[in-house]
Structure 1
């Protein structure tokens, strides 16, 4: 199986201290949990495919499919994936819709019609706008790429069920409105991504 390079999202004492100062409730949870390591995939193409595979399925299912993709398809590169048929990609355990999207994105990148590396020079909003032009990529997938590959520091995704669940558990809410969510998101800014890392952990406790 391919050894895909990963690293941990970089943050430390200063970021934790800031979030504690603006939100004591989150701060107390951060003290209780200690440093939470978030694994990221620096390679944008690999991370994009991982996010697409992860749409609307469990973490465990993602791991199973991702392992199978590496075993059955080989290297997770745009060149290699573009040469696979949607049937071959689907056989790794995903829906045909996802398989078609993945193959199409690989083709688009291979043909030079989309330059992932250009994303690094764009703002978060521009990155999202550029990515959602790709077939099969919505706002949630783009936001996951911002956090889990590009290490952008102020992303709190309304579209992520686990983040919303983490917020509800943290603040003792039975439900959460978009307005409430945005109030918390603005409180965490400009370090929303670090708050997200903790909210994910809280949601699965």
Structure 2
């Protein structure tokens, strides 16, 4: 499968650097990091649920097993036919397998109309997704950023983004109010800021 990456360029970088010179200096240092996106909305949603509360390595292993079994095209119909018992055997909890099958059923029955998401606002999508058991605000925000490529997503619910902020600004703690001040500074290109904050959070030395 050909990898696709979040699309951004010099315009977004220049605006962020002008609004936040500290972030601007970090962007100069880091160059232009790439972030893989997952354009298929259903499989991206399932992949996010698979990855909840486990390491990236473990999530990639489970997802790889699912792709080996079902191919690249993991559809709601495939998941519904498989059932929770089969899904659990890829290495996840029974509860998580149940969530995944519940999401698939909601998509098949149009309880959640994923096909309409590209025309809906961020707030509408978050509201619609979070009615589903197993889908919280973070999962919805990751779909907005890493599937729909919405330009201004900075997630308080993402530990990596908060850690990146704390490292970038040399903070020992980060309140919600401080986070919101920074997030407003990054607008309207918060998603690009998020990509850099993830990079800062995971770089060996900063």
5 Å-filtered alignment, 1:60-75, equals 60-74=57-71, 75=73
Give me the whole-angstrom Cα distance separating, in 2, the residues matched to 1:20 and 1:140: 26
Count of residue correspondences: 202
Q: CA deviation at 1:113?
A: 2.5
The match for 2:34 is: 37
Q: 1:90-112: per-residue Cα shift (whole Å, max 9, x none)? A: 11112211110111111121123
Give me the whole-angstrom Cα distance separating, in 2, the residues matched to 1:113 and 1:176: 37
TM-score normalised by length of structure 1? 0.95
Q: How big is the alpha-carbon RMSD for the aligned residues of Structure 1 and Structure 2?
A: 1.2
Q: CA deviation at 1:6?
A: 4.1
Q: 1:159-186: per-residue Cα shift (whole Å, max 9, x none)? A: 1011100100000011111011111000
The match for 2:137 is: 139
Does the CA-based 8 Å contact 1:166-1:202 persist in structure 2?
yes
Does the CA-based 8 Å contact 1:73-1:81 persist in structure 2?
no
1:83 aligned counterpart, secondary structure? helix
Cα separation, partners in 2 of 1:183 and 1:125, compared to 1, 3 Å: same
Give me the whole-angstrom Cα distance separating, in 1, the residues matched to 2:196 and 2:146: 14
Q: 1:129-172: per-residue Cα shift (whole Å, max 9, x none)? A: 11101121100000000001000010100010111001000000
